[in-house]
Amino acid sequence: MVHACLLVFFILFQLKLPLSAEEETRYHPNCQPFHCGKLGEIHFPFTNASRSHCGFLMVDGCDKDTQKIQLEREGRWYEF
């Protein structure tokens, strides 16, 4: 019985992922991935100051040698 429940959960979880990505694209058409220094191309849930409505993990210094991330609004900055 436990195996059947896990199988159903796994199948439902796999089906939900494409819908979430589809909804994200539909509701945020201006939130395309962006290049950020050594991190390369990043996307939701990451964002930067010019696109703060596109995510909740703020990155800064994409044009510098060291990038920083803020894990909560008005929180502490951490260097990569």
Q: What are the sequence ranges of the domains in the chain?
A: 1-30, 31-80
Q: Which long-range contacts (CB under 8 A, 24 or more apart) does 4-13 make?
A: none
What letters, b where the CB count within 10 A reaches 16 and e where it falls short, cover 14-34? eeeeeeeeeeeeeeeeebeeb
Cα dihedral 44/45/48/49 (nearest 10): 120
Residue 3, pLDDT score: 57
Confidence label for 76 from pLDDT (cuts 50, 70 and 90): very high
* Separation of alpha carbons 5 and 53, rounded Å: 38
Reported as type and span, the H/E element at residue 26 is helix 2-27
pLDDT tens profile 32-64: 889 999 889 988 888 888 887 888 899 999 999
Residue 58, pLDDT score: 92
Residue 43, pLDDT score: 87
